[in-house]
Structure 1
Amino acid sequence: MTALGFLYPGHSAEDDYPRMEQLLGSDVRVDLVHTDIGEDAHRVDALREMGSPERLAAGVEHLRLTGADAVVWACTSGSFVHGWDGAQQQVRSLALAAGMPASSTSFAFVHAVREMGARRVAVGATYPDDVAGLFAAFLRTGGIEVTGVRSSGIVTAAEVGTWEEAELFALARAADHSDAELLLLPDTALHTAAHIPALEKELGKPVLTANQVTVWEGLRLADRRVNAPSLGALFTREPIVQA
């Protein structure tokens, strides 16, 4: 049994995780602990506070008791707003507090893009323009070319959590770019787990979503590979051998 631990901010699209657990098979367990988000706002100062060491540490002890093999901070904006170096320090502090390998959704996107052997991506963000721009800058620091960013200007995770299939597909279509090898949808408050194969069929290319790459990152940290076509192309590829 591989046990994966996730620290998830608040309550928006957390039902993606039990859905993905079912799709991964009976030997993978997903343990989700909710962290206190403070102010629900896609605003840089609020997002930095959301991912503070104190807020993350509050959920770590419960995950340790579950016997998790790895932990991922299941929040994109609450990590990349700290910049590349700050997000690395956030992960190091989390690993130290948890006593296990740790990562975050922001780094999960970078690792997943590399896994797919891609260089150019388009971004469909629910965030306001300034926050979406910080995600693009984070990706570029990770060596990824961003062909374009589409932002929706949504201020709260709670509102994003109410989006249904129509809004999701509209964002994906608007954000896609002909030069992009992948489309990235970077908000863990967005329900995507039930729609990834349909999104990929619609766009004719792989799609990486926040909750999807978060779970994939947990498996990567635990040194597990799971073939799960219902979770998209990321879960069907052989690993890329880095030179």
Structure 2
Amino acid sequence: MTALGFLYPGHSAEDDYPRIEQLLGSDIRVDLVHTDVGVDAHRADALRADVLREMGSPERLGAGLRDLRLSGAEAVVWACTSGSFVHGWEGAHEQVRSLARAAGMPASSTSFAFVHALQEIEVRRIAVGATYPDDVTALFVDFLRTGGAEVTGVRSSGITAAAEVGAWGEAELFALARGADTPDAQALLLPDTALHTIAHIPALEKELGKPVLTANQVTVWEGLRLADRRVNAPELGALFTREPIVQV
């Protein structure tokens, strides 16, 4: 049994995680601990007030670690994109280093999960469909470019509250994906762990004709990567169709 731990801010699309666990179809356990978000906002004024940065502070992340240790987790991922990339490339690295020290286990975040997933599928040219306001989306794009990606198209939805994103259905999700995609993009990224995507990834990839990477999907993949596990699960998209690692 491989146990993976995830620190998830608030309550929006956390039901994606038991769905992922079911689709993995193997001896993988996905343990989710909710962290305090303080203020539910992606606003530019929230950025100036350090709300997003505070959401991923060592104190708030550390508060959830005790439960994950008791669960027997082998790795932990901060399941938040905006709460990591707002710190910038170096700041996000320090965030996960601090988390790993506090947890006593390998650690990462959703922002780095996107970078590592792009490396895994050997893709550089991407389009981004974000629920965030323009200025927050721009910070994510900068983060990806630092990680080696070439961003060919960007669409922002201007939403300021995770609860609103969590209420989106299939129609809103597909509209965002279609609006963000560009013909020269090799993959589409949808970066918000508040967005329900897991039930729709195969249909999105079929319609767009390319890999689709979503926040909750890459977050769990990152946990598996940290635990040296690779699982073939086509219903979770192209990212999960690589051959599994054979343990000898």
TM-score class, shorter-chain normalisation, is: over 0.9
**C-alpha distance in 1 between matches for 2:25 and 2:69:** 22
Deviating more after overlay: 19-28 vs 209-218: 19-28
After superposition, where does 1:172-191 map in structure 2 within 5 Å? 172-191=177-196
Deviating more after overlay: 129-138 vs 25-34: 25-34
Letter in structure 2 aligned against 1:188: T
1:103 is paired with a residue whose SS is: strand
Partner of 2:27 in structure 1? 27
1:112 is paired with a residue whose SS is: helix
Give 1:148 shift.
1.4
Letter in structure 2 aligned against 1:160: V
After superposition, where does 1:171-210 map in structure 2 within 5 Å? 171-210=176-215
Partner of 1:97 in structure 2? 102
**C-alpha distance in 1 between matches for 2:154 and 2:35:** 28
Deviations 1:29-85 (A, max 9, x none): 000000000000003221111111110000011101100010000000000000000
Partner of 1:231 in structure 2? 236
After superposition, where does 1:82-231 map in structure 2 within 5 Å? 82-231=87-236
**C-alpha distance in 2 between matches for 1:217 and 1:26:** 17
After superposition, where does 1:36-115 map in structure 2 within 5 Å? 36-43=36-43, 44=47, 45-115=50-120
Partner of 2:12 in structure 1? 12
Give 1:196 shift.
0.2
Q: Is the 8 A contact 2:230 2:243 kept in 1?
A: no
Give 1:238 shift.
4.5
2:64 is paired with a residue whose SS is: helix
**C-alpha distance in 2 between matches for 1:149 and 1:9:** 25
1:33 is paired with a residue whose SS is: strand
Letter in structure 1 aligned against 2:126: V
Give 1:237 shift.
2.4
Count of residues paired in the alignment: 239
Give 5+ residue unaligned stretches, structure 2. Answer: none
Deviations 1:220-241 (A, max 9, x none): 00000000000000000259xx
**C-alpha distance in 2 between matches for 1:21 and 1:195:** 16
Letter in structure 2 aligned against 1:165: E
**C-alpha distance in 2 between matches for 1:112 and 1:16:** 18
| Percent identity of equivalent pairs | 84
